[in-house]
Amino acid sequence: MIQLDSVSVHLPQGYLFKDISVQINSNDKIGLVGKNGAGKSTMLKLIADHNKPTEGAIHKPKDCTIGFLTQDIKLDTTQSVFDYLVHSNKLLKTIKDRIDEINAALVTREDYESEGYLAMLDELNDLNHEFSLNEGFQWEEKVISTLVGLGFKEAELQRSLSTFSGGWKMRAELARILVNQPDVILLDEPTNHLDIISINWLENYLKAYAGAVIVISHDRLFLDNVTQRTLEISGGKILDFAFPYSKYKEVRAEELIRLSQAKKQQEKDIKHTEELINKFRAKKNKAAFAQSLIKKLEKTERIEVEDDSIPSMKIGFPLSVHPGKWVLELENMGKAFGDNRLFEGVNITVGRGEKIALLGANGTGKSTLLKRVMNELDGEGTVTYGHNVNIAYFAQDQAESLDKSLSVLETVDQVAKGEIRKSLRSVLGAFLFQGDDVEKKVSVLSGGERTRLALCQLLLSPSNFLILDEPTNHLDIQSKEVLKNALKSYEGTFVVVSHDREFLDGLTNRIWEIEDQNLRIHHFDVKEFLKRKSGQQQQMMKPASKTAPKEEKKEDSAPALSYHEEKELKRKKNKLKNQVNKAEQEIERLEKEIAKMDEIIADMNYDDKEKAESTLGKYHELKDAYDAQMTLWEEATEGLMELE
Quick check: 78 pLDDT over 70? yes
Q: What is the pLDDT of residue 644?
A: 63
Q: What is the pLDDT of residue 599?
A: 74
Q: Which residues pair with 348 in a beta bridge?
A: 330
- The band of 155, judged by pLDDT with boundaries at 50, 70 and 90, is confident
- The band of 602, judged by pLDDT with boundaries at 50, 70 and 90, is low
Q: What is the pLDDT of residue 621?
A: 84
Burial class (CB in 10 A: 0-12, 13-18, 19+), 456: buried
Calpha distance 120→114 (Å, rounded): 10
- 33: DSSP letter: E
Highest mean pLDDT of the ranges 50-64, 451-465, 580-594: 50-64
Please give the sequence-ordered ranges of beta strands (E in DSSP) within 60-211, or none if there are none: 66-69, 184-188
What 3-state class would DSSP assign to 537?
helix
Average of pLDDT values for 297-311? 70
Q: In this structure, which long-range contacts are made by residues 503-511, counting pairs with CB atoms below 8 Å and at least 24 apart in sequence?
A: 503/472, 504/357, 505/221, 507/355, 507/357, 508/355, 508/356, 508/357, 509/354, 509/355, 509/356, 510/354, 510/355, 510/356, 510/357, 511/356, 511/357, 511/358, 511/359
Calpha distance 430→314 (Å, rounded): 10
Average pLDDT, the chain: 83
pLDDT in tens, 410-436: 998 888 877 778 888 888 887 778 888
**Listing from the earlier edge strand, what are the strands of the sheet with 391-394?**
391-394, 465-469, 493-497, 355-359, 510-515, 518-522
- The band of 441, judged by pLDDT with boundaries at 50, 70 and 90, is very high
Quick check: 44 pLDDT over 90? yes
Quick check: 25 pLDDT over 60? yes
Average of pLDDT values for 475-496? 85
Query: Taking Cα atoms as reference points, which of 202, 164, 206, 179 lies closest to residue 73?
Result: 164
What is the DSSP annotation of 418-487? GGGGGGHHHHHHHTT--GGGGGSBGGGS-HHHHHHHHHHHHHTS-BSEEEEESTTTT--HHHHHHHHHHH
Average of pLDDT values for 440-453? 83
Architecture in CATH for domain 326-527:
3-Layer(aba) Sandwich (3.40)
Domain ranges, ordered by start, for the chain = 77-179, 249-299, 326-527, 562-643
* Whole-structure pTM value: 0.68
pLDDT in tens, 380-392: 999 999 999 999 8
Burial class (CB in 10 A: 0-12, 13-18, 19+), 398: buried
What 3-state class would DSSP assign to 394?
strand
User: Taking the CA of residue 361 as centre, how many other CA atoms within 13 Å lie in the half-sphere pointing to its CB?
Assistant: 20
Quick check: 550 pLDDT over 50? no
